[in-house]
A and B are shown apart, each in its own frame.
Chain A
Amino acid sequence: GSKRLFTSPLRYPLYQLGNPQLRIFRPNWFLTLVRPGKEQPPDTAQFRIPMEMTKCDVKNYLEKIYNVPVGAVRTRIQFGSNKKRNHLSQKVKQPDYKVAYVQLAQGQTFTFPDIFPEKDRTAAEGSVEEMQEKFLEDEKQKQKPDPRRGGVTEWFGL
């Protein structure tokens, strides 16, 4: 079962001709869909996956659980930096993680959505925030130089 697989270190049992096919039920793995740092082709989605997963695991996971047609999977391991030091001068390690680039099949495309859209921040009428904003705006306006001088500084003239 899957318990034997995840005791350290992970080793899938060796396959020899005639062995039953390896099946994993209820895997304890979770994928994280992330926004790509560098621009990717439109059919590529980027995931952070647990270190124990392989390319075939990712493909089967997405196809069987989420019905996503997967064309090709490429993985790499990102080294987490060990450079920073804390107040005791000890090195602090950021954890390593594995990244999978999944190319979708059947001409499907995917773009990572915008999760933090810009909102217009206008305060409600007659509220405290509106009065504060107006006050700050007036203060800023007082700091600006006289527009009648046409951009010339106060250093010149009377």
Chain B
Amino acid sequence: MAARTRLPLLFPKNLPPFRNQRLVQTEAAAKDPAYPPIVPSRTAKSKSALRRQVEEHVQKVRASPVEEKLALITRIQRQKFVVYPQTFARDADRWYQHFTKTAYIPGLPEKFTRGQEHTGGEEGSPPAAAQTTVPGIENDAFADIRSLISRVILQEHWYQKKRRPFLFREQEHMVGPLLRNLVSGLTYSLAKYNPLLPLCSLDVNPQVNFYWSRGQRIIPRGHRSGRLEPTRFQIDDHPHTQIRITQQLPEFAPLEASYDAEVPEITLAPNLMPMFRRQYDNNIFTGSKLPDPARYGHTQFHLVPDRYHRDRMARQQQSDQVEVFLRANGLASLFAWTGAQAMYQGFWNYEDVTRPFVSQAVITDGHFFSFFCYQLNTVALSVETDANNPRKNLLWGTESLRLYESVQDGEVVGLNDSVIKLLVQFLMNQP
């Protein structure tokens, strides 16, 4: 400093260098003025404020643990379309495919058709009566299962005398116990061949719920007219029985294979289907609460109620709707189940699944069995997340196959082996 002219008594000969030039190069760069980040307001009546609120909500949900995530996603109650898996609506499967972004592939995935091809090739040499190519099951075990199934059928239709049930309760009385006994019998007998089954959880008449939103519409009238509203859906399903396991089943097809699949696009509103809106609690439930270790799904079994039985449909000249009904049922139930499983793992609309979730279903009315396999590749179905999402969910399904012809004189006539083989293969599915 120039004002200081009196020097100290012991004036050093060599002054330290750069005494008056305080480290010129280094400090100026670090001393940038630090302003807070410029973001739009949170509470203003503007579109950017709304966007900021949405963004903050998304970040909040991302950062919270799974229970809080579910609670935050299903917190606000609004009018939503209730999707019934078993519906009387015509062409319901096309509509449901659009709502859940699912592509339908007729037939079963390669895992199950490989067995079918082998029997086709081996038909030539030995007789096909006791031949089975289900890997891991010997012929004796298969014969045991055959006798188990015929026992179960005879128990309900031959040994037990039943009175004529009340109106529209026939399926519940005749086929309900049959299916329950069948499922529990098969699970126990296959428990020694499938290591997952001893640790599985067999639910009887469980609840499966799922809540999601897809698409949007402009509100036509009211104090919110002109604004965009997302269309919300809720499925409340009650499968007859289901099997939940501790590990996840392997995928049927790679994720990338779903990019080319075709999903029907429907531009009309869902209430033309007809589908109705209600407002009540938004539930997401796989069949048990979050801390349950058996949190992945294996197989569901559904019963076709009297109202949709094929005889009644034939009387009303709607036989073509039978297959449509089965497909819609399989699609909606399995989508709800796999979606709920994914939500339980923390994947939601803005955090898409990293691995595909896979489940199977068998829908039956006592005589005819249809088999469905579902692979959930994406949960991001709302408008913002679906814009650049090439993934689609996949549903494989069969036509209905007859299990047995009839019951005569204490014998089951015409027991179909391929259907039994498919049932066994379904239950033997393991990673």
Contact = CB atoms under 8 A, between A and B. Distances in A.
B388 interface: no
B91 A40 contact: no
Nearest to A71: B90
Interface string A52-80: 00000000000000000101101000000
B125 interface: no
A41 interface: yes
B90 A39 contact: no
A105 B324 CA distance: 13
Given A43-B90, A43-B91, A74 B274 contact: yes
Contacts of B317: 69, 105
A150 B159 CA distance: 99
A40 B272 contact: yes
Contacts of B321: 71
B interface majority secondary structure = loop
Size category of the A interface is 10 to 19
Given A71-B318, A74-B274, A105-B317, A39 B268 contact: yes
Residue in B88, B272, B320 with the greatest tally of chain A CB atoms within 10 Å? B272
B95 to A, nearest CB: 9
A72 B268 contact: no
Nearest to B271: A38
Nearest to B317: A105
Contacts of A103: 90
A146 to B, nearest CB: 42
B274 A44 contact: no
Interface in A63-111: 69, 71-72, 74, 103, 105-106
Contacts of B318: 71, 105
Contacts of A39: 268
Interface in A118-147: none
Contacts of A40: 268, 272
Contacts of B320: 105-106
A69 B88 CA distance: 17
Contacts of B274: 74
A44 B91 contact: no
Contacts of B91: 43
A43 to B, nearest CB: 7
Given A105-B317, A105-B318, A72 B272 contact: no
Given A39-B268, A41-B272, A72-B88, 6 more contacts: A41-B268, A44-B272, A69-B317, A71-B90, A71-B321, A106-B320
Interface of B: 88-91, 268, 272, 274, 317-318, 320-321
20 contacts: A39-B268, A40-B268, A40-B272, A41-B268, A41-B272, A43-B90, A43-B91, A44-B272, A69-B317, A71-B90, A71-B318, A71-B321, A72-B88, A72-B89, A72-B90, A74-B274, A103-B90, A105-B317, A105-B318, A105-B320
Top 3 nearest A-B pairs (CB, nearest first) are A71-B90, A103-B90, A41-B272
